[in-house]
Chains A and B, each alone.
Chain A
């Protein structure tokens, strides 16, 4: 089990003191049963397609990951070295569970898998990503997505 207390002291302090955004509203959208939902992944793992410009510190933009991108064409460019990458090296689904979603759609647990997924780089302040996330929301709605699974690292 991994808890805050398992992290190096400096990382613990950084995590505890990290300024987090707070919101006055609490939006909450309902929808159909999971078996009828179209699911997309939005990750903050800094994933890019091979050959694409990697993320650098401070980036608040995003990359588009078409669902049919072969797993060997996706690499991680997150700037932090303070998380494990060996799990992702051995299995893309540890961070970007595209194959698992396909299996769940085939089994009828979810309705379908989105045509396109998205990656941000989580070391940047999420408040700086607001406009870009709203843009992604528009793209997701165009793809009829009504369920987003957000995966951090």
Chain B
């Protein structure tokens, strides 16, 4: 972001960057940046907290009025009040994931679809109250995403409908859709757990997570460099790789 601020400013467009990694802003030295003490992915802080978010935006934009630059790097002084989570939190549903057998494509697809059916009412409730969903990157329904995942794990990947896009890339988008579907359903009751709590529950308690971990293992063993890269970087968060002791 800080480099983009530099290029914009060179073109005569005043810019202020919100910074999540202070070290990077110190290195790049953009015209103006405001570091915020929020987790990665939340540059404006807590969701659904208009007052707090406006405070962050106003503090950042006020730097445009400062004459002390070039190179202004200030710190936003308040923490995200929701970052601590909720003691003892659980989502509004429970699942009973069994072991998966990637070689049995039909059984895996059936088990994934059954789990999706259990999650579905809660996802519908989330969408009704939230007014939007992030599911939709792959352009496929979640059942079809599950089929795609089962096919891939069984070694029979479907061809991509767009020949310019590799099947493993489509699979990554399908996995992103499935993860969003579950994580949104987990927030259906409006509680505000920390993202760390939600991630831990998802990766510990769902069949989908077990399938994604199996997919990661499979892609890492692939001879195709793009598959290896997606397996290494685009499926399981580094924090979960560490927490679950995945190699």
Q: Interface of A with B (CB < 8 Å)?
A: 1-4, 6-11, 15-16, 18, 20-23, 25-31, 33-34, 37, 39, 42, 44, 50-51, 54, 56-57, 71-72, 75-77, 79-95, 97, 99-101, 103-104, 109-110, 120, 122, 126-127, 129-130, 133-134, 136-138, 140-141, 145-153
Q: Do A1 and B37 have beta carbons less than 8 Å apart?
A: yes
Q: Are B13 and A141 in contact (CB under 8 A)?
A: yes
Binding site for A on B (CB under 8 A): 1-21, 23-24, 27-29, 31, 37-48, 50, 53-54, 57-58, 60-62, 64-65, 67, 69-71, 79-80, 83, 130-134, 136-137, 139, 169, 172-173, 176, 180, 183-184, 187, 195, 198, 229, 233-239, 241-242
Q: Is the CB of A97 within 8 A of B57?
A: yes
| Contact (Cβ within 8 A) A28 B70 | yes
- CB of B38 within 8 A of CB of A2, answer yes
Residue of A nearest to B164 (CB): A53
Is the beta-carbon distance between A26 and B71 smaller than 8 angstroms? yes
Q: How many A-B residue pairs have CB under 8 A?
A: 261
Q: A89 vs B65: C-alpha distance in the bound complex, in angstroms?
A: 32
> Which residues on the B side are within 8 Å of A122 (C-beta)?
1
B57: shortest Cβ distance to chain A, in Å? 6
Known: A34-B65, A83-B41. A8 touches B239 (CB 8 A): yes
